[in-house]
Each structure stands twice: as C-alpha cells, then as structure tokens.
Amino acid sequence: MARFSDDFLFELRSRIDIEELISSYVRLKKQGRISRGLCPFHVEKTPSFTVYSDTQSYYCFGCGAGGESITFIRNIENLSYYDAVQFLAEKVGLKMPEETADDGLYALRKRIFEANREAARFFYANLIKPDCPAYTYLIGRGIKPETIKRFGLGYAPDSWDALTRHLRSKGFKENELISADLSRKSRTGGLIDVFRNRLMFPIIDLKGNVIAFGGRVLGDEKPKYINTSDTPVYKKGKGIFALNIAKAHGRSLILCEGYMDVIAMHQAGFQNAVAGLGTAFTSEQAQILSRYADEVILAYDSDDAGKKAAKRTMSIFQSMNVKTKILTLTGGKDPDEIIKRFGREYMQKIIDGSLSSTEYKLALAKEGINTDTADGKVEYLKKAVEVLSELDDAIERDVYAGRLSEETGVTRTAIDEQIKRALSFRKRKQDIDSFNKAREILEGKVIAAKNALKLYNQSASLRCRQAEETLLASLIQNPEFYKKLKDKITIDDFSSALHKRLFFKITERIENNQELDLIYFADEFNPEEMSILTKVFQKGRTISNTLDECLDCIKVMSEEKLKQSAADPSKLSDEEFLRLFYKKE
C-alpha cells in the first residue's frame, strides 16, 4: 500500500473542498451545515447521501457508504488508493511525491494501461495498411478517415499471436498481457491473442486511458462482438463508450446500443452520443451517466429487442429520477442506418420529436390495436391505465389522464376511476410483497434464534460494539482523554478486529501528536472499512464526549470480555478469573 507523508496529505486535504468535489458527481442540496443528494453508490429515490463540510466527509444512511475525498474517488472512479490520491493531486495541481512506494496492484494497473495503449497503436497501424479489410469495411459504411482517427479504431490481424509477439517485443510480460485480457493461454501452454481478424474499438476512460477493447467480426461469424473481460482497470458493467468525448457537449446525452451507432452520430455532429458496454445496461452505468446528464435520450434499435431493452433502461433511469426521453426511429433500424439513408437533418427532427418515457410507453400500449373499434379502444385504455398507475408523480398522472380522455373520448371520471383501481391493486401487491419479505426475515430470525447460544460466544453483543464505537469516537474528539485511559484499556479489550486496528491507529497518532482526520486513515483501511470508520467519526457529534462516558464504555467492554471468556476460564488472566468468580458468588 502506498504511504504518503502527513504533510502531503494535509496539503491535499486543504486544497480540496469535498462538497465541491462530490457536486461534480452528485446533485447536492444545501441543508444548513450539511448537503444531501441521491447516493451514487446505490439506487434510491429519497436522498440519504450526506456531505459534511466541517469534517470533509460523507456518509450514506441508506447503504452505509462513507469516507473522505480519497475514499470517494476510489469508489466512484474504481481506483486504487494510490491512483485516487494521484487523481486528486492532479485535479488540484499538487505535485506527487517522487518516491512513493506502492503495492503490486498499482504497478500492474499501470502496466495494463501501457499495454492497452501500445495495443491500440498496433491495431490502428494495422488498420491503415494498404488493402486492410477492416478499413475497406469502414469506408464502405461511410466512416470517414478523420472519424477513424478520432476514435482510434483499429484492426486485429488474422493471426494467432501477432499482438502478443508485438507486445512481448516491447517488454511486456506474460502475466501483464493475461491480466489485461489481451492474450490468453492456448491448449499447448503458449500465449495467443484474444482478438483476431476483428475491427477494434478502444474503450477510453475519462482520464484518457485505454482501459479495454471491443472487437467486431467483418463477416457473419459468431460471436459478432467480443469484448475485454473484467480486469484490474475495467469493469464492463460500469463502462460507457465515448463518454470521454460526450461529457464536454452539454448536460443531455444520447444513449445508443452499439459502437457504430455512436460513431455515426458523432460523425453527423451529435457529439453527445454514448453507448453502454456489456450485454445489458446496468444501474451502475445509469448512475455514471446521471453525473454528467440532466437528461438521457434513448436511441435504441426499433426492433422488438430494442423496444424491450428501452423499457428496461427507462425503468432504471426512472428509479433514479433522471429525465428520460426516447427516439422513434422511423425509416431505419438504428441511428447509423437512419443517418446513412436520410442524413443529419432528418435525425435532428427525430431528436426534436423525442417522446417522454410515459409517452413512449403509451405509444407501445397502442401499438397493433385498432382503437376505432369499441373492443380495441377498451384494450388500449386498460393498457394505458396500467402505464399511468406506475407514475409516482400525481401531477404527471393527472396530466396524462386528461390527454387520454381527450384522445379516446372516454370521460375523465371513468378513466380516473380505473386509475384509482389500478393504484389500489398495485398497493395490495406491494403490501403482499412486503408481507412475504417480512415473513422471510422472520423465518430467518427463527433459524438464527436456534443458533443463538452457539453464536453468543462467537460475537460481541450489540451493546458492546456500540460501547467500542463510542469510546473510539470520544478518543477522536478528545485525544487528551487517552492519557487518563491508557492504563485502563488495551487493544485486546476490543472484540472487533476492525476496532482493534482503529484503536491502534488512533492511539499511535495521539502518542505521536499527529492530527486525527479521516484522510490519514484511508491508506490502511479499504473503502468498505472506511465507511464504518466514517460512522465512528460522525458518532462524535451525538455523544456526550466526557471521561465518565469513556469509563462506562470500558466497563461494558470488560463485562463482554468476561462473558465471552466464561466458557473457557483457562483463557482468563488471574485477575479476570477472580472478577468472574466473585461476580458468580
């Protein structure tokens, strides 16, 4: 793990305002001394993500994520500790220490970035060679040379190990190429290329690093696309193609299904187009887009699979309160085809006429139904009412109910009555789901109760854990207490391994007259542990912070230790044994 001096971390902290930092990812609303917003680490409708400017920390009361600026960047950008520090240092113009020891993961990530960069150069060099089939394919699809260069497109030769041999000649090791998913072991034990005879699309992150590749066949072979598997620098469930370009072109993003659609859109001037990576769009990808867009316009294929995917993606964005629209791709299957057939102006008209998510769902409900007949009108109304009953916003529901009445000629009273019934049905279903969930929890508690005695001596009580947290929080808030408590408490008195480590770190810094701030803990605790530490740090706001309170906590911890040791008196010290003996008497 990389270690930085306190002076460097102090300077880094002094240059960063955590509220400003997080605001570039999360829309925050000021509420007195704190700010709140929707958590970027889990899906929620009610803001529970809280930023504390005075302590330069954050904590989510929904999922428990917490930390300071370094931990936030580690989580949000999927970076190692060292990379997160470097990211922040570059952001605020702070020079990194020249000699900073780091762990093997950082070194490996760095080599993967370098290998990917060299691979991208190799693929591009092969693409622009005379008579390259991939270049001919791109030109045939209307992709211009300047667009090819801008996206760094390339060609993986029809060879078992052309890239592997090239990268080995550049000094890259076998484990580095395998870790980057550029090479794999063959059945005979040698290395072979992952990508062969494919048009190559480099995936570039927001810092300009090549983190992965997508490869498309030029013929009809299967699979049509293969993509880099998850690596230390890339998680496909979080990847967004072309976001590195699109993020600089406004707060509205056009979400396409594939690489070629995005490239065609950019070439036509729609430089806010992006595509999700992986087989299905994920909530993690939606959270990433929500940091850079107030509105997302879906440009999915017009076939049944595209419509199904669009509905699913809309639901993801709807759960995050992100405004979503969708294009009706009339005249072609996808954006690439429409631009080729009708040009940029036609595509602009489609974008200007994009439908809201509710309008789109109503259009789908009407699809294939003859509303000129009584039966057809009833069928459409039933589907439309179901769509409107899914709206949480009563005003939005009311507006669309009025439109539906005008469209069908059915009285508003009748439509409202049907919506009311649908809402009631939904509520009953939600109640049943809640009941079933509660029953599962109860059944789990019954099972747990049967093992309670066995588990009792294996874990500390809640009361003890709270006492440990309170004691640690008091020491953080009042370091001077430690001098009066050090003879009454040791690291072995803590039941939690994490609390033991935290106590050691706190007391070590107190004895060295060093400041107690979350940023000085981020190098020794992972992001999940930092969330718990943040909770402990914040607890100092709600406790009495008195020496007597600390002594009470130590008493609770001592009682728990005796209770845990009662099953095996041989583990007790003489003093502890006598205390337990006389207590029983």
Please tell me the predicted confidence (pLDDT) of residue 181.
97
CATH 3.40.50.1100 corresponds to the domain 6-92: no
Strands (E), 85-219: 154-156, 183-185, 191-193, 198-204, 210-217
Place of tokens 């309160």: 321
Q: Which CATH number fits domain 240-364: 3.30.70.100, 3.40.50.1100, 3.40.1360.10, 3.40.50.620?
A: 3.40.1360.10
**Three-class HEC string of 222-248:** CCCEEECCCECCECHHHCEECHHHHCC
Q: Is 212 helix (H, G, I), strand (E, B) or coil?
A: strand
DSSP-derived pairing of the beta strands 323-326 and 295-299: parallel
Architecture of the domain whose range is 104-234: Alpha-Beta Complex (3.90)
Please tell me the predicted confidence (pLDDT) of residue 66.
93
Mean pLDDT over 82-91 rounds to: 90
Banded pLDDT at 33 (limits 50, 70, 90):
confident
pLDDT higher than threshold 50 for residue 455: no
Domain boundaries, given as residue ranges, for the chain: 6-92, 104-234, 240-364, 368-450, 462-584
Q: Is 117 helix (H, G, I), strand (E, B) or coil?
A: helix
Residue with more model confidence, 568 or 45: 45
Q: Is 496 helix (H, G, I), strand (E, B) or coil?
A: coil
- Residues contacting residue 119 through CB under 8 Å, at least 6 positions apart: 163, 167, 180, 182, 210, 213
Give DSSP secondary structure letters for 135-161.
Answer: HHHHHHTT--HHHHHHHT-EEE-SSSS
Q: Which fold has domain 462-584?
A: DNAb Helicase; Chain A (1.10.860)
**Dist. CA 439–CA 159, nearest whole Å:** 58
Please tell me the predicted confidence (pLDDT) of residue 236.
85
Banded pLDDT at 452 (limits 50, 70, 90):
very low
Please tell me the predicted confidence (pLDDT) of residue 450.
40
Please tell me the predicted confidence (pLDDT) of residue 219.
82
553, 465 contact by CB (below 8 A): no
Cα dihedral across residues 477, 482, 484, 488: positive or negative: positive
59-76, pLDDT tens digit by residue?
A: 999 888 999 999 999 988
200, 154 contact by CB (below 8 A): yes
| Lowest mean per-residue pLDDT among 108-117, 347-356, 390-399 | 390-399
Tell me whether the omega of the peptide bond preceding residue 223 falls within 30 degrees of 0, making it cis: yes
Q: Is 36 helix (H, G, I), strand (E, B) or coil?
A: strand
CB atoms within 10 A of CB 527: 18
Give DSSP secondary structure letters for 45-78.
Answer: SS--EEEETTTTEEEETTT--EE-HHHHHHHHHT
128-177, pLDDT tens digit by residue?
A: 999 999 999 999 999 999 999 999 999 999 999 999 999 999 999 999 99
Q: With DSSP H G I counted as helix, E B as strand and the rest as coil, what are the percentages for the chain, rounded to 5?
A: 55, 10, 35
225-246, pLDDT tens digit by residue?
A: 999 999 999 988 889 999 999 9
288, 241 contact by CB (below 8 A): no
pLDDT higher than threshold 80 for residue 527: yes
253-274, pLDDT tens digit by residue?
A: 999 999 999 999 999 999 999 9
Give the mean pLDDT of the chain: 88
Mean pLDDT over 308-334 rounds to: 89
